[in-house]
Amino acid sequence: MSNLVKGKKYQWETVIGLEIHAQVKSNSKLFSNSSTVFGSKPNSQVSLVDAAMPGMLPVINKYCIEQAVKTGIGLKAKINNYSVFDRKNYFYADLPQGYQISQYKYPIVGEGKVTIDFKDGSSKDIRIVRLHLEQDAGKSLHDQNPTKTYVDLNRSGVALMEIVSEPDIRSADEAGLYISKIRSILMYLDTCDGNMQEGSLRADVNISVRKPGDDYGTRCEIKNLNSIKFIKQAINYEVKRQIETLEEGGVIDQNTLLFNTSNGKTRPMRSKEEAHDYRYFPDPDLLPLEINQKDIDKLKISIPELPDDRKKRYVKDYSLSNYDASVLTADKSVSDYFDTVIKSDKSLQDSSKIVVNWITSELFSLLKDNNIEIYDSPVSPNHLGKLVNLIKANVISGKIAKDVLLEMFNSKEDPEIIIQKKGLKQVTDTSEIEIIVDEVLLNNKKMVEEYLSGKDKLLGFFIGQSMKKSKGKANPKILNDILKNKLSKKN
């Protein structure tokens, strides 16, 4: 698959690296015991440590360390037994300390990798440079007042994991797949809630372009994107802008950019003359973080089955395609649902593809229309399994099954009960079907003649009429056979 972008004059290659900021799922903040709950009253979860009152000292949250280590294991990365917290110094209204406690030279997690899967069944590894722990800043509201900015420090001090990739990404689509995959891994591990709308997961995107084979071009960084859609939009816009600039003989300034979500354009941040000078140095309030191998090994045991392992299992045990399996495993709750359906009855093991289809087409569309998440599905995995078995056993046709599913969705009832109550059981009794077919052929003599003189298409009409007469309950295959048989006899 070629990812080259055509300019007016040349073909260009896009080079992208991502810095993902993932909020650690924890009850309390990284260095204080105030709560991390989203959406609380402004400034109600701000301890004296978070507000940087003089004399306050940070004490690290053990669970946040474990969450970072688990994430490192999930990213197949090296866990560093020794890491150091540094101060990253800058002034901003939502950073009361005047510095962010972060990790610079010695991060808690080193090199790792993440695999992304493409529609054509191929896959690609994106290398991870590092993951480090740091504090989140507060939140600023700029658009409420013409002369004021309002600051809420509830988020100040919440633990973040910054996950930095190598510049291995070559297109907006790859960037989308990469961030989806990271999100999926984090959610399987339960180390981040993955909620992009609430800002639990956001990304800075580094972009440059080059002619294939050349060295890396000058890169720009787009800050703080919080949806996959915006990330793709911002990349596509920025790539086009860089190519146009270069083809017109211009140069790319290494700049920090903001993406305007309403017009889809990037623009440079204003304060560029003050090139960032963070003056990192080890935070004297915090000792180096040492993690012994025993604790790492203990955490390794607690790691659940991750999307890639599940994907492999699905391919192996249920002979799903690599891509189907990757789609199914991307969302843990979908994958959990599928697993529960399959496990609800042994006979379903061989019908995994039918189960996948019923989940990803019919059930998904019902859930989507009603804005319900799969883990709240009114159709229980058990009931869906039963429905699939009823189709397989020819008790109902696939078409009737759709109606039954809708009824199951609305009433939460067992499909067997619904079928019984509504008399939807499929007619497989050939004599019953024969009566219907005879009647249809008798009532449509002219059509029968036309059919016999070569208008093959009319078969569909007879099937439709017979089906209608049976109220959709005739077994389609038997009906088809009987019709063909009777028509051929008339010849």
Partner 1 sequence: MKLDTNTINKIAKLARIRLSEEEAKELLKDMNSILDWVEQLNEVNTDAVEPLANISSAILPQRKDEAQDINSTDEILKNSPDKLEGYFAVPKVVE
Contacts with partner 1 by CB under 8 A lie at: 26-28, 33-37, 41-47, 51, 59-65, 84, 89, 91-93, 106, 140-142, 145-153, 258, 269-271, 274, 277, 279, 282, 284, 286-290
CB of 196 to partner 1, least distance (A): 21
Please give the biggest Cα pair distance in the chain. 100
CB of 71 or CB of 426, closer to partner 1: 71
CB of 25 to partner 1, least distance (A): 10
DSSP 358: I
Residue 442, CB half-sphere, CA atoms under 13 Å: how many?
6
CB neighbours of residue 84 within 10 Å? 18
Q: How far apart are CA 236 and CA 228, in angstroms?
A: 12
Intra-chain end-to-end CA distance of the chain, in Å: 54
The backbone torsions φ and ψ at residue 263, rounded to the nearest 5 degrees and listed phi first, read -110, 0
CB of 150 or CB of 323, closer to partner 1: 150
CB of 405 to partner 1, least distance (A): 42
CB of 60 or CB of 459, closer to partner 1: 60
CB of 23 to partner 1, least distance (A): 14
At position 118, the amino acid (one-letter code) is F
CB of 258 or CB of 459, closer to partner 1: 258
CB of 12 or CB of 85, closer to partner 1: 85
CB of 102 or CB of 165, closer to partner 1: 102
Contacts of 187 (CB under 8 A, 6+ apart): 193, 194, 331, 332
CB of 209 to partner 1, least distance (A): 25
CB of 57 or CB of 301, closer to partner 1: 57
Which run of H or E residues covers position 26? Answer: none
Q: How far apart are CA 41 and CA 354, in angstroms?
A: 48
CB of 224 or CB of 333, closer to partner 1: 224
CB of 74 to partner 1, least distance (A): 19
CB of 44 or CB of 443, closer to partner 1: 44
CB of 68 to partner 1, least distance (A): 13
Q: Is 263 exposed, middle or buried (CB count within 10 Å of its CB: 0-12, 13-18, 19+)? A: exposed
Q: How far apart are CA 18 and CA 138, in angstroms?
A: 22
How many Å separate Cα 167 from the centre of its chain? 21
Read off the tokens for 204.
Answer: 């800075």
Read off the tokens for 262.
Answer: 């309403």
Q: How far apart are CA 447 and CA 457, in angstroms?
A: 11
Read off the tokens for 417.
Answer: 């009960």
CB of 331 to partner 1, least distance (A): 26
CB of 310 to partner 1, least distance (A): 28
Nearest Cα neighbor of 202 from 263, 152, 149, 137 is 137
Q: How far apart are CA 379 and CA 381, in angstroms?
A: 7
Q: How far apart are CA 254 and CA 338, in angstroms?
A: 47
Q: DSSP labels for 306-355? A: -HHHHHHHHHHHH---HHHHHHHHHSHHHHHHHHHHHHH-GGGGGGHHHH
CB of 223 to partner 1, least distance (A): 8
CB of 224 or CB of 410, closer to partner 1: 224
CB of 129 or CB of 286, closer to partner 1: 286
CB of 374 to partner 1, least distance (A): 29
